[in-house]
Amino acid sequence: MRHLRVSEVRHDDDPLHRVRGAGYDFPMASIAAPIHRLSVEDVHRMVEAGVLEENERVELVEGVLVDMVPISAEHDGALAWLNRHFARVDAEEWEVRIQSMLLIAGGFLLPDLSLVARMPRSTLPATAHLVIEVAQTSHARDREKASDYAAAGVTEYWIVDLPGRTVHVHRHLLAGAYQEHTTFADGTSIGPLLADAPSVDVSALLG
């Protein structure tokens, strides 16, 4: 499904630009089009009405729907490995979510994997102990998400860089921002801050 996008339209330096065609030639003032920002409830209603598919890969950022990058086979394989790795732990305090909605200010994100506190099925998480994004071509967008996850109080945020064969770990929240960024490469191991969460062998994750 295609979504309307808001684009910046540049005009001549003259404050008025001209519209021509079909016999018309008249000046027209530049007008900034207002943006109708959506709420999470709006998106749910769009799904109920069939405007969006239930499994549509979109995120709501500052009230604007943003398409997500299509998943590659390598991305899917790394995510399946992470799911098996964390789901093998029968923890009472937390659970694994895969591409599940995480509420943030102004919308929601769909992190590839999150470890969240156990909660009623009717409740959506608004924070997480750990969020992991797998990046094949989405590096720039995933780096931008660090500020969103930090603002949501996510304890630590990992970006799995498949082409670069590294994992970028953001930790130590202070004043709504991560204060530490560490890069782990092949041959290293990452121990999550969450108690009982198993350490991750980077080489095994990257395959």
**Among residues 42, 48, 47, which one has the least CA distance to residue 63?**
42
Domain locations in the chain as residue ranges: 69-206
Query: What is the per-residue pLDDT across 6-49, written as a single tens digit (0 to 9) for each?
Result: 333 333 344 333 333 444 444 444 556 677 899 999 998 999 99
For the segment 126-137, the average pLDDT, to the nearest whole number, is 96
What pLDDT does 156 receive?
A: 98
**Mean per-residue pLDDT of the chain:** 86
Note the pLDDT of residue 109.
97
Contact 162, 136 (CB under 8 A): yes
Nearest CA-CA partner of 136 in 73, 82, 60: 73
Per-residue pLDDT, 23:
47
Query: Would you give the DSSP letter of residue 33?
Result: P
Contact 180, 190 (CB under 8 A): no
Q: Read off the pLDDT of each residue in 166-194 and give the average, rounded to a whole number.
A: 97
Contact in structure between 115 and 194 (CB atoms under 8 Å): yes
- The pLDDT of 172-197, averaged and rounded, is 96
Q: Write out pLDDT tens, residues 140-159.
A: 999 999 999 999 999 999 99
Q: Residue 17 has what pLDDT?
A: 38
φ/ψ region of 152 (left if φ > 0, alpha if ψ in -120 to 50, else beta) reads: alpha
**Considering the domain 69-206 in this protein, what is its CATH number?**
3.90.1570.10
CA 196 to chain centre: 25
| β 130-135/156-161 pair status | parallel
- Give the three-class secondary structure for 155: coil
Cβ(147)–Cβ(173) below 8 Å: no
- DSSP label at 153? T
Q: Please give the C-alpha separations between residue 132 and each of 10, 110, 155, 159, in angstroms, as whole numbers.
A: 38, 10, 11, 6
Name the residue type at position 35.
I
Output the pTM of the full model.
0.81
In the predicted model, what is the mean pLDDT of residues 41-63?
A: 90
